[in-house]
């Protein structure tokens, strides 16, 4: 089971939640603020958006690094061929 850390909007306490389905009404242990399924879904959706943006930036950085490495290799081979 995945553990999701829900941040209470009332006191910013991180509450570990095993799954989003609740058999009973959950409450923040610090301030007693109720934790609803809609609140959990909202935070999960926000976290997923941030995760996707970060993954996209990492893919772009890897592509740029690969292109730079490819360019340097081609340039080095060209320079070696000119020396002969």
Per-domain residue ranges of the chain: 4-83
Q: Quick check: pTM over 0.75?
A: no
Question: pLDDT 10s per residue in the chain (84 long)?
Answer: 567 788 888 888 888 887 666 556 788 888 888 887 888 888 888 888 888 999 999 999 999 999 999 999 999 999 999 987
Q: Token pair of 56, please?
A: 């996209």
CA dihedral 29, 35, 39, 44 (to 10 degrees): 50
């Amino acid at each position: 089971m995945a553990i999701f850390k829900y941040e209470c909007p009332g006191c910013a306490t991180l509450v570990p939640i095993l799954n989003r389905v609740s058999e009973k009404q959950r409450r923040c242990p610090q301030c007693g603020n109720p934790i609803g399924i809609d609140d959990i879904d909202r935070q999960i959706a926000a976290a997923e958006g941030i995760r996707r943006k970060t993954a996209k930036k990492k893919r772009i950085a890897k592509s740029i690094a690969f292109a730079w490495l490819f360019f340097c290799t081609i340039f080095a081979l060209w320079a070696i061929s000119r020396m002969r």
